[in-house]
Amino acid sequence: MYVASCPHSTRTTSSVVEPQSGLPSPSQRDPLLGPDSHMDVQGYKWVRWRVWSCRLAAVLTLGFLLIVFHWRPRLGVLARCCSCPLALADILLIRDISGQQHVVEVLTEELEDGSLELLGEWEVIEWRDTVQLYKEEKTLLRYYLFEGLRYIWLDRKGSFCRVSVLNEDWTCKDLYGFQKGLSHPEQSLRRLIYGPNLIDVPVKPYMKLLFEEVLNPFYVFQFFSITLWMIDNYYLYAICILIISIISISISLYETRKQSITLHNMARLVINVTVRRNSGAEECVSSVELVPGDCLIIPQEGLLLPCDAALVAGECLVNESMLTGESVPVLKTPLPASEGKYSSETERRHTLFCGTQLIQAKGGGPGGGGAVAVVTSTGFVTAKGNLVSSILYPQPINFRFYQDAIKFLLILGFVAFIGTIYSFVILLRSNATWGELVIRSLDIVTIAVPPALPAAITTGTIYAQRRLKSQGIFCISPPRINVCGKVSIFCFDKTGTLTEEGLDVWGVMEGGPAGFSELVPEPRLLPPGPMLTGLACCHTVTLLQGQPLGDPLELKMVESTGWTLQEPEGDGKVLDAEFGDHKVLAVMRPPTQHLQAQGIPTSEAVAIVQRFPFSSALQRMSVVTVARGGHSALAFIKGSPEMVASLCRAETVPEQFSSKLHHFSSEGLRVLALAYKPLDKTTDFMTTERGEVEKDMQFLGLLMMKNLVKPESAKVINMLRLAQLRTVMVTGDNILTAVNVAKSCGMVACDEKVIFVIATPHTAQSMPTLRFSLEDRATTAAQSSTEVLTWGLYQDGFGYHLAINGKSFAALCDHFPEHLPKVLMRATVFARMTPDQKTRLVKELQKLDYRVGMCGDGANDCGALRAADVGVSLSEAEASVASPFTSKTENISCVPLLIREGRCSLVTSFGLFRYMALYSLIQFCSVLILYTVKTGVADVQFLFCDIALVTLLAIVMGKGGPSNQLHPGRPPASLLALPVLGSLFIHTCMIILGQLAALFITTSQDWYIPLNSTVFGTANLPNMEDTSVFALSGFQYIFMAVVVTKGYPHKKPLYYNVIFLCLLFILFSLMTWLVLYPGPDVCRILQLYHISDMKYKMLLVAVAALNFLICFVVEVLINMGILNCLRLLRGRRPSKKQYKRLHVLLSDSPSWPPLNQTLSPADLTVICLS
């Protein structure tokens, strides 16, 4: 797994492997599908003469070289360092998984002599790094810090590895060995290696923030522009822009520091905790000093956990809403003492995660209170640290709009270059001085490339974020709002998302070798026996201040039996004695008096002595119980019927099992199975392994629960379907139950068929197989795949849906990759999916170029929510880090709202981008036209256009809200598409023609007075040419805001944006007044030529109106697709999106899916996408 190399070789590049994090939910920096993620690292050493040369060059360039090094750190390293082996490096150049490069410094810590022997079983040679220093051998720890994580040098591996690699091989049994505690020297050494247990979000001082902000390319360009304007005597304009820039920087610094302080306070957790030392003494220490291996004593009243820890004694009731968004407390039980490798992901029901609130601890300390845990991770390696770092260092969003924005700026830069050459030639012919040549030519660059462009396009996102917050949807990643506008498929969890969270018990049916008994609607009416006892005991419900807490399903199940839960008090010895001196976790007592009064025989009280909590991956939970006096012991298991039946002895499972399960699941019932087996009462149940308990069981029966579909679900699914957005259900429930819910909420219409995809993996006895089977088995043989295509229309011609479960999905991915894309294209129901499979499904859909949305409750969906392009967690938390979006609404009605806001924001960003580009082009054309006739634009005229016209319009343009309906089409995301570039080109041509028309109309008048040809630029002001071009360009700034502002279908019509309309009316009136009746004072201030000919001035207004009319009509025609006729000339090309190409190919393949055929990996029915 690790890339090894000899540290004394000339190798300069290594892979820093990030071992599996074992967090409850993967983040952007951790692998989503496996531990194969890595970073490339190159080693460099300082070269003294190069360092001094760069310092001299920095002085000679007035610090500009340092700015370049700040923008491109890699250049700074290459200029001042030479390549060297990693083992000798002072500086590291890191390229992360997203391709971005970072420079970090290698740090060293000196370790005391003899300290390494304290590490015990650790392989000391693996990470010792010895160097000769003043002829004394000293042991140095070499490491670097990157995104909060510590990477240490491992000499034998020849690479830097995350510090967590030192404890990644710990087994569950090893963790129990740490119960005795660490000694003080050992703890100090580990603290030196692992670093402090802090999730420290740095809050930079204002001066450092100011320095970083000012060195932003945007502000450097702004500073360059202001300097240029000052030299060119544009004092008033330069001072105004400087003041605006200072205000902008101040607001930015305040907001940045405020957010840093908020995140710092949320992330930083320092409390006093109690740890056990190897002497047996307990010591109160700061949580900052905790290290992996520390034995943590948890008090009975609980605490806010400052680290990740494995529970080794007692039980804890934990609120994990900060991490998962799931508000239901979870019961954590002691880790099984097995030889298997410990992983917090697989052992999450035995792991306490950092940042979670421990509500109650019991059964692990003296007197029966408290619990004992062993620290497994600290600092940024913890679950909370990983999620905080995903906020601090988000993965770059691969969204075409943001990529095209950079390319478009380069296009404007090319336009500026052409303008610079043109102005240089004009000025040279006008006998301008060299100083004027340089200044005027560079001034063109500041006009053609608007420095405010990147800031302007975020306006729409800011307005959308505010609207979403007002409706209870919180966002921790604003750029993803625009991504919402391009979502093409939305995945939904079932329980708690599409259906109600709570379930009602529908009935119980006992089963055995003789078959199933009659359905019993109320479990409390069952006769005394294992089935009733199993229903009462097989759960993780616990008491908090006398009130039962736990999973809603289990609460309903226990309530339906009528049994009551009792937990040990004090040291619990009274209950232990009552049940044969076994360590009792809880006691379930039957409702004796009430039932005896009705003449119904009653059961005996039983004690729960061991719990194996529910696991999504295992699809089951189990408990061990003993009777009074410890006379008998029974193990009970509860879980998915398929899983429970597979763990039972075959002769105990009724023959009608499959048919009954099919019947109940088809009716939309949540079906659970129960089984049991007797155990040897002398066994030490606290050390019994789960695998030994959960095998050779005896089947007991089925528990059916009704899970109602939320009333909003069908409405929303229909809305998305009408908008041609594909919807998919991803659930851990039974496939037939999931299909029933899919039909109930409208994902599958009543006239559409469901085809089950059944794939089996490779076994010792059989080869992998793949089969497509119709839902209605009675008609399966009579139907062919050709007939399937005649069953009505769905999604452009398909009247069937595929349904697949988790096991088949895994086999399909492993053995039938050629069929996987086709199944993903047509599958609507994914059932019995584990959390990892949900994440993999999202990633596989993204490989088909889908923009994937995922909506879930945040519990078992964390990985999928974070992997999706748009993840929405239904949670009461205001801002959960389980997903980019958190909705307080308890149903999926937030999804269409989010998509509408995303589309509105994307359209607004498009409009603002085009407007800012056109504003630059209008000014660019004005300046070049006036340069041609040996004059220029006045300082105050620039100020008026930029501040009074453009800035005000740009601010309020984005205030229009989203349309009330979801339109079938999605807005475009490419700025370099033909309609965008075509419209900008045509509008620019109209702008030039409009300004030239104004100029030629002016020069053709009888009263026209030519310019003074002996002077150039603003020295010629006021003049008639500048006045006419200023008049028309002023109108162009205003009406272009109307032309590029789109309403229907993704935004509300223009008249809903009242502020924008009022501003347009005011500015149009102001501009008309400036053209028709300016007055001498205004003419003097704006340096306009006073023209008294009213007919001429009315003609200018008419030319502006005609210019607006032409541009508006052109824009309407472009929106209607008139430029698409140009595409016909090149011929129809296949879509760049893989799922669209695949859809076309599947439409032309009536033989797929091949019904009633068993396919093997050799039967390649391949549809090629190339």
Q: What is the pLDDT of residues 807-831, one digit of tens each?
A: 899 999 988 888 899 999 999 999 9
Band the pLDDT of 1162: cuts 50, 70, 90: low
**498 Cβ contact partners less than 8 Å away, ≥ 6 residues apart:** 492, 709, 710, 713, 729, 741, 745, 892
Per-residue pLDDT reduced to its tens digit, 845-862: 999 989 999 998 766 677
C-alpha distances (whole Å) from 503 to each of 556, 704, 747 are 7, 10, 22
Q: Could you give the CA distance from residue 226 to residue 379 in angstroms, rounded to a whole number?
A: 45
Report whether pLDDT(922) > 90: yes
Distance, in Å, from the CA atom of 485 to the CA atom of 894, rounded to the nearest integer, reads 14
Question: Which of 246-250, 901-905, 1120-1124 is the least confident region?
Answer: 1120-1124
Q: Provide the pLDDT confidence category of residue 638 given band limits of 50, 70 and 90.
A: very high
Percent of the chain with pLDDT over 90: 28
Per-residue pLDDT band for 1 (boundaries 50, 70, 90) equals very low
- Residue 372 is predicted with a pLDDT of 92
* DSSP states along 525-541: GSPSSHHHHHHHHSS--
Would you call 834 exposed, middle or buried from its count of C-beta atoms within 10 A (0-12, 13-18, 19+)? buried
- State how far the Cα of 430 lies from the Cα of 426, in Å rounded to an integer: 6
Q: Is the pLDDT of residue 603 over 80?
A: no
* Calpha distance 242→991 (Å, rounded): 29
Instruction: Classify 271 as helix, strand or coil.
Output: coil
Query: What is the rounded average pLDDT of the residues 641-645?
Result: 91
pLDDT tops 50 at residue 1167: no
- 537 versus 947: which is more confidently predicted? 537
Q: Which of 263-277, 393-407, 720-734, 973-987 has the lowest mean pLDDT?
A: 393-407
pLDDT confidence bin for 1164, thresholds 50/70/90: very low
* Predicted pLDDT at 925: 94
* Residue 788: C-alpha distances to residues 338, 1140, 1152, 1154, 1167 (Å): 52, 21, 10, 10, 19
Q: For the purposes of burial, counting CB atoms within 10 Å of the CB of 921, is it exposed (0-12), middle (13-18) or buried (19 or more)?
A: buried
What average pLDDT does range 548-558 have in this prediction? 85
pLDDT-wise least confident of 77-86, 411-420, 840-849, 1129-1138: 1129-1138
pLDDT reported for residue 244: 80
Per DSSP bridges, beta strands 726-730 and 827-831 are parallel
SS3 content of the chain, % helix, strand, coil (to 5): 45, 20, 35
pLDDT of residue 1055: 85
- pLDDT confidence band for 487 (50 / 70 / 90): very high
pLDDT over 50 (residue 10): no
Q: Would you give the end-to-end CA distance of the chain in angstroms?
A: 33
State how far the Cα of 755 lies from the Cα of 750, in Å rounded to an integer. 14
Q: Is 396 helix (H, G, I), strand (E, B) or coil?
A: coil
Mean per-residue pLDDT for 203-222?
Answer: 83
Which of 705, 695, 679, 328 minimizes the C-alpha distance to 535?
Answer: 705
Q: Cα(462)–Cα(912) distance, rounded to whole angstroms?
A: 13
User: pLDDT category, 325, cuts 50, 70, 90?
Assistant: low
What DSSP assignment string belongs to 107-147?
Answer: EEEEEPTTGGGGGTTS-GGGT-EEEEETTEEEEEEEEEEET
103 neighbors 141 (Cβ within 8 angstroms): no
Render pLDDT for 616-635 as a digit per residue (tens, 0 to 9). 778 889 999 998 887 888 99
Inter-residue contact 962 to 904 (CB < 8 Å): yes
Within 10 angstroms of residue 795's Cβ, the number of other Cβ atoms is: 14
Rg (CA), the chain: 36
Tokens of 450: 């608007």
Nearest to 995, CA basis, from 925, 1049, 1050, 939: 925
> What is the C-alpha separation between 501 and 1000, in angstroms, rounded?
73
Mean pLDDT of the chain: 82
- Contact indicator for 568, 584 with CB cutoff of 8 Å: yes
Residue 76: pLDDT above 70? Answer: yes
Structure tokens at 735: 């496939």
Residue 1072 has pLDDT above 90, yes or no: yes
Q: What tens digit of pLDDT does each residue of 977-999 get?
A: 888 888 999 999 999 999 999 99
Q: CB–CB of 602/589 below 8 Å?
A: no
Q: In the predicted model, is pLDDT for residue 203 greater than 90?
A: no
**Least confident interval from 334-338, 1001-1005, 1083-1087, 1096-1100:** 334-338
Number of residues written out for the chain: 1170
Least confident range of 184-193, 499-508, 556-565? 499-508
Neighbouring CB atoms inside 10 A of 551's CB total 19
User: Above 70 in pLDDT, residue 881?
Assistant: no
Report, as an integer, the average pLDDT of 143-161.
Answer: 85
1048's tokens: 């229907």
Rounded to an integer, the average pLDDT of 873-902 is 80
Q: Which residue has the higher pLDDT, 592 or 579?
A: 579
Q: In the predicted model, what is the mean pLDDT of residues 85-95? A: 89
pLDDT confidence tier of residue 491, bands split at 50, 70 and 90: very high
How far is Cα 135 from Cα 1146, in angstroms, rounded to an integer? 74
Catalytic positions are: 493
What's the pLDDT band for 113 if we cut at 50, 70, 90?
low
Task: Give the C-alpha separation, 745 to 717, whole Å.
Answer: 7
| Mean pLDDT within 64-75 | 88
- Chain-centre distance for alpha carbon 920: 35
pLDDT of the residue at 787: 44
Please compute the mean of the pLDDT values over residues 255-280 and round it to a whole number: 86
Say whether pLDDT at 335 is over 70.
yes
What local confidence, expressed as pLDDT, does residue 49 receive?
A: 93
What's the token pair of residue 997?
């028309």
Q: How many CB atoms lie within 10 A of CB 514?
A: 8
Cα distance between residue 641 and residue 832, in whole Å? 11
> If you average pLDDT over each of 512-526, 889-903, 1012-1026, which comes out highest?
889-903
Residue 858's pLDDT is what? 63
Q: Which residues pair with 144 in a beta bridge?
A: 151
Mean pLDDT of 640-663: 90
**Mean pLDDT, rounded, for 392-401:** 74
Q: The whole model's pTM is what?
A: 0.77
Does 164 have pLDDT greater than 70? yes
> How large is the angle between the packed helices 1094-1119 and 1024-1044, nearest 10 degrees?
30
Report, as an integer, the average pLDDT of 787-805.
58
pLDDT digits (tens, 9 = 90+) for 1082-1137: 999 999 999 999 999 999 999 999 999 999 999 999 888 787 777 666 666 777 88
Range from 153-162, 552-561, 681-690, 919-928 carrying the lowest mean pLDDT: 681-690
Indicate whether 779 pLDDT > 50: no
Q: How large a percentage of the chain has pLDDT more than 70?
A: 88
**pLDDT beyond 70 at 116:** no
The 8 Å CB, 24+ separation contacts for 736-739 are: 736/661, 736/662, 736/665, 736/666, 737/665, 737/668, 737/669, 737/670, 737/671, 737/707, 737/831, 738/494, 738/803, 738/829, 738/830, 738/831, 739/666, 739/775, 739/803, 739/829, 739/831
3-class DSSP assignment, residue 279: coil
For residues 318 and 25, give the distance between their C-alpha atoms in angstroms, rounded to a whole number.
17
Q: How confident is the model at residue 1011 (pLDDT cuts 50, 70, 90)?
A: confident
Mean pLDDT lowest for which of 673-687, 839-853, 893-907? 673-687
What pLDDT does residue 324 have?
65
pLDDT band at 702 (very low <50, low <70, confident <90, very high): very high
3-state DSSP assignment of residue 1025? helix
Q: Looking at 955-1010, which runs of residues are DSSP E strands? A: none
Q: How confident is the model at residue 134 (pLDDT cuts 50, 70, 90)?
A: very low
Average pLDDT over residues 86-100: 85
**What whole-number distance in Å separates Cα of residue 480 and Cα of residue 459?**
14
Tens digits of residue pLDDT in 433-475: 788 788 888 888 888 877 666 667 778 888 898 999 999 898 8
Alpha helices in 570-654 (DSSP H): 573-578, 592-597, 641-646
